[in-house]
Structure 1
Amino acid sequence: MPATVKYAFHVHSRVRELRLQQTLSQQALAQALGVSRQTINAIETGRYDPSLTLAVHLARHFGTTVEELFDVDA
């Protein structure tokens, strides 16, 4: 039987920092991206890792790259 590989990555997000720099509410950012306010809150608090598509849209919204917006710790 093959061994199971588990990954224990934690994603750090700069979404809150950049959102506040633009004086956007969570609701306003959520509406701009077509997601719920709860999704933005969960990303900011580290309870949810966004899909690649959402990560790209967030990065484009803030004029940055996915790598600059999210940092993955192993």
Structure 2
Amino acid sequence: MPIEREQFVDEATAAAFLAVSIRYLRDLRRAGRVHGHPLNCSGKCRVWRYRLSELEMSLTENATSSTKWTDRRTD
């Protein structure tokens, strides 16, 4: 039975999934609230990809957390 691998998505797709702006998604990643995967880092990472399952886990954790993030679609 072959193992199914989850595909990575770009920042626009990840932000849409979370219903936030791309800028706010980046802020969440920098704060450690969501997990991102850097691609081809040489010094400063500029390209990040996300897994929807990890973002969904972040949503679940956020729903039970006392510090919630809000919808910020201002980009």
Structure 1-normalised TM-score?
0.33
Q: Report the structure number with the largest CA radius of gyration.
A: 1
- TM-score, normalised to structure 2's length? 0.32
Please state which structure has a larger fraction of its residues in helix: 1
